[in-house]
């Protein structure tokens, strides 16, 4: 039987999936069990509200919510749960994502939504934030995150070494 999901990845439309799948890939790389759902704050408000209300009882620990345009999904979900919610603004439409970014980030006091960047770093960072949150009480997961950061630093050090040797050749 597959592990029970700890992270719920939500998106407002399946048109968001090409971007949002980077969150799924990142969680998979860290061996964090997750589920993926399409639901909308506007088109399926009852489903989104029910999902968020039931998430804690189902054992989820973090929710990622991606949406574009008037991106209310993360905020609506945050209004219905005490779980941490990470909003992923999706670029597109006439305002090219600025609308989504502001809709996700400008939450009223009391209902926080952690907001990541527009673009492909957004879903990756949302997943990494989820890993960091879950890692707070999972030493093995935290160790994987340490290794990830070390690897990233080694890449930069390697790139610098290659640049220095080409400049000094
Ligand atoms: C938002 O509107 C979705 O999250 C998507 O980013 C955007 C466009 O949705 P579709 O018209 O492609 O379904 O609700």
pLDDT tens-digit series, residues 50-82 = 999 999 999 999 999 999 999 999 999 999 999
CA pair distance 89, 11, nearest whole angstrom: 10
Q: What is the pLDDT of residue 1?
A: 59
Sheet of 85-90, strand order: 34-38, 7-11, 62-68, 85-90, 114-115
Enter the pTM of the model: 0.96
> Tokens 């941490």 sit at which residue?
84
Q: What is the pLDDT of residue 162?
A: 98
Please report which confidence band the pLDDT of residue 104 belongs to, taking 50, 70 and 90 as the band edges: very high
pLDDT tens-digit series, residues 105-155 = 999 999 999 999 999 999 999 999 999 999 999 999 999 999 999 999 999
pLDDT tens-digit series, residues 21-44 = 999 999 999 999 999 999 999 999
For ligand 1, atom 5, the nearest C-alpha belongs to 68
Query: Which atom of ligand 1 lies at the shortest distance from residue 11's CA?
Result: 4
Specify whether the CB–CB gap between 76 and 52 falls below 8 A. yes
Q: Between vectors from CA 9 to CA 114 and to CA 102, what angle results, nearest 5°? A: 35
What angle in degrees, to the nearest 10, is found between the helix axes of 17-29 and 121-135?
30
Residue 117 phi/psi, 5-degree rounding, is: -70, 160
Could you tell which of 48, 67, 72 is best to mutate to test the pocket of ligand 1, judged by most ligand atoms within 8 Å of the CB?
67
Q: What is the pLDDT of residue 18?
A: 98
């Amino acid at each position: 039987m597959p592990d029970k999901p700890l992270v719920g990845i939500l998106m407002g439309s399946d048109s968001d999936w090409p971007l949002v799948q980077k969150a799924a890939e990142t969680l998979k790389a860290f061996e964090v069990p997750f589920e993926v759902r399409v639901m909308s704050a506007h088109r399926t408000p009852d489903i989104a509200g029910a999902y968020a209300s039931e998430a804690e009882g189902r054992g989820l620990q973090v929710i990622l919510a991606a949406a574009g345009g008037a991106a209310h999904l993360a905020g609506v979900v945050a209004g219905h749960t005490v779980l941490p919610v990470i909003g992923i603004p999706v670029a597109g439409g006439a305002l090219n994502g600025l609308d989504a970014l502001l809709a996700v980030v400008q939450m009223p006091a009391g209902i926080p939504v952690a907001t990541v960047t527009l673009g492909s770093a957004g879903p990756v960072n949302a997943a990494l934030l989820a890993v960091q949150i879950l890692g707070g009480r999972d030493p093995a997961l935290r160790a994987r995150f340490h290794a990830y950061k070390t690897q990233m630093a080694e890449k930069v050090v390697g790139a610098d070494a290659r640049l220095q040797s080409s400049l000094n050749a």
